[in-house]
Structure 1
């Protein structure tokens, strides 16, 4: 402001710039206010604490690094192992993989990082007459399109390809000794298809599922423990493996670790 302006408007003072500490304090107060409101909303809705904030952080993290891989999985360098898996799979086999080279693996506790279910190919469906059930038409279309793996990832519950799943270093596959409730399993898959990924890790919300919760919901008889953390209840892939090993009607039929070049058909 010029001297003339100050003379004409003696009551007007020069505005002082906002100091950085004041800005920081304001942001801190705003953040604390948002967290307080989030905590109150979580308690009111009987959800884990800070559900909105936690979901925002985990979703942003997953979507920003979800495609980051430091390399390709070692299984891709062993086509004979991939062929053994492809030839030996049967419908409703459960596959657990370890892919430590993926950025998302850093936030997955335990050794195994993902779990999915194989639904068979077109021949399997025709032999079992599953292709005659109109309720499973969308699943059948995916199978015929080469997407026979049902899984939940950051895109939600969906059908994917086996090649996509086998981008890993290690795999172990389990098979049921007595599959008598295939109608029930299919119905559970149909009901869960398209559900969103559970970024809040809220095991009580069945409308959003992580990969392990999907498997547990399809096979509810599996004796699976849950991890509890910050008021949240969720299942990690290692706990699915432990449950399958404890179950009397499941056995592992194939294992491969491409890093150590160790592999075996465990049912021979």
Structure 2
């Protein structure tokens, strides 16, 4: 997955200087690929926390690193270095725009390129706070991660090198320069520029970065102190000072650093009466669409809707469909009986979640297949359940079999529906907007329920739903 993405990023960034397309078009293409890197980075942070907690507990209990632990550490370091390399390509490719005064580059394009470079740098700084600083506290893990490993193509002292880059005053000064440019130029732009999906995505990524809001505001004395602690720790192999402040920062910042960056809770969140009403309306096999404008990931998804899932139905419904004891369904008996009925593809993979978990959203629509025979409904649910456990598809390619995104879940479950797709960069993709296109008047799906801005829409719901998709009924 990462290797494929690296090749794509490398191709687009290296080819940019020779392409006939204007710089503006090149930036837009790079943002599309960049989103995949950011998503991978968010997932990597979450996995790093899980691995750290597991290994740290074992070490504290006197359990040595197992062969599996060593492989996990090597794979994790290899992935981090590969991601870091891709982010650096983006940072260095566009940072020249800060100093370049070529009049042929308009200010909007210049700002967008600088924002792309700046956001990539901030993601790296946030990655350090989460995925590197916590390992520096442990002498054994730090030594291991600094060791050379030819089998994984890992050079010696890589952890030390990453820490030096994080502590670099030159790097921080350059980023501060980019931040000042961003702060000065962004307010001067038109509202149409600010609302474009790529621009809004970069703005949110920058603005919600913990490094943008806190770390980079530390004084030079703080950085000098970090340098002192770091080099003292390296020489004596005790990084207690640096480790303590790192782990505190890590604990403090973790909530926003795993990637589910949001500025508030959804308008449907924790509203029991609405949850009960929605639960009553749902039927096995229904499709759930949602919108979360307060989350980073919603900024770059085309169309109105940002996520889609499938409702399994209750035990009673599955028994009525004759599939409760189907081998695939039996795997999830306990979860279904505990009200985990939403099948969805998240960064952590395809999983079953309760409705309450899903409803941290502002808007929601329930879609139901017209003339849906019970036999077809049963097959659809089984196909959806078969996807549980698959990894998230960061390349958004419907033709991959081992990875999947939310809208691909619908694509492979409702096999009798001819879903629209887009051909992008040599692969076919489907988005929640494509799913929404199939609902409404004279469409294979009907809109059963619609909630907008936290409120249920009770009149002309089909018309209002289609208007969100840029279409209206006759």
In the superposition, the TM-score normalised over structure 1's length comes to 0.72
Number of residues of Structure 1 aligned to a counterpart in Structure 2: 226
Higher relative contact order (CA 8 A, sep 6+): 1
- Name the residue aligned to 1:20: none
Contact 1:171 1:255 in 2 (8 A): yes
- Name the residue aligned to 2:39: 58
From 383, 393, 396, the equivalent of 1:201 is 396
From 309, 320, 326, the equivalent of 1:133 is 326
Q: Deviations over 1:29-57 (max 9, x none)?
A: xx99x936x99xxxxxxxxx99x998544
From 425, 428, 431, the equivalent of 1:233 is 428
After superposition, the CA RMSD in angstroms is: 3.3
Per-residue deviation, 1:248: 4.3
From 24, 35, 45, the equivalent of 2:10 is 35
Contact 1:35 1:53 in 2 (8 A): no
CA distance in 2, matches of 1:227, 1:57: 21
Q: Deviations over 1:57-85 (max 9, x none)?
A: 43114654532221111113754432221
Q: Which of 1 and 2 has greater Rg?
A: 1
- 2:359 is the alignment partner of 1:172: no
CA distance in 1, matches of 2:321, 2:415: 23
From 276, 279, 288, the equivalent of 1:86 is 279
CA distance in 2, matches of 1:263, 1:241: 17
- 2:376 is the alignment partner of 1:181: yes
The aligned runs of 1:1-268 (5 Å cut-off) are 35=10, 56-61=37-42, 64-76=257-269, 78-176=271-369, 177-179=371-373, 180-245=375-440, 248-259=443-454, 261-264=455-458
Structure with the bigger percentage of strand = 1
1:55 to 1:255, Cα distance in 2 relative to 1, 3 A:
closer
SS at match of 2:351: strand
CA distance in 2, matches of 1:134, 1:202: 28
In the superposition, the TM-score normalised over structure 2's length comes to 0.43
CA distance in 2, matches of 1:90, 1:122: 12
SS at match of 1:115: strand
SS at match of 2:268: helix
Structure with the bigger percentage of helix = 2
CA distance in 2, matches of 1:54, 1:126: 42
Unaligned regions of 5+ residues in structure 2, if any? 1-5, 15-28, 46-256, 463-474
